[in-house]
Amino acid sequence: MSGPRSVPDVGAERPPRPLERRRNLVRGMKRLFAFSSVLLLSACAATERSDAVAPAAPGFLLGVWHGFIFPVAWVVSLFMPQVAIYAVPNNGGWYDFGYFLGIVVFGVGAHRTKTVYRDRVIDVRARRID
């Protein structure tokens, strides 16, 4: 007869299995790659000098308008070189924010979606197997 068996503690965590370790390592590598890619791409962000902004330059409201008319302005700019889709110089961040809102909220990105809901009723009679 052998000695008493030890019963594993129910609340104790088990050590990760090799497959779980590999999955965790792959997840960590993916996150590291994504973070380093974003960091690398952030170096490409455009910057401007603070004295480049003119006081009478287009601001937030003109940014909203230019974003709203973006599709038409883009098509026209293909045939007429004096037409631009973005005002330069502008007053910086507020113009950009208005331009973004004009495109996404009020312009091209503002499309309605139609959601269709279906109710499925499954009539199955269950039988008990003993």
Residues 59, 22 share a domain: no
Residue found under tokens 């009539």:
123
Residue found under tokens 């959601």:
115
Q: For residue 59, what pLDDT is reported?
A: 86
Q: Which amino acid is at 41?
A: L
The domain in which residue 22 lies consists of 16-44
Q: For residue 87, what pLDDT is reported?
A: 84
81 is a domain residue: yes
Record the pTM: 0.46
Residues 67, 38 share a domain: no
Q: Round to whole Å and give the CA distance between 19 and 14.
A: 14
Residues 102, 58 share a domain: yes
> Which residue numbers in the chain have pLDDT < 70?
1-16, 45-55, 107-130
- What is the domain count for the chain? 2
4 is a domain residue: no
Residues 29, 65 share a domain: no
76 is a domain residue: yes
Q: For residue 37, what pLDDT is reported?
A: 87
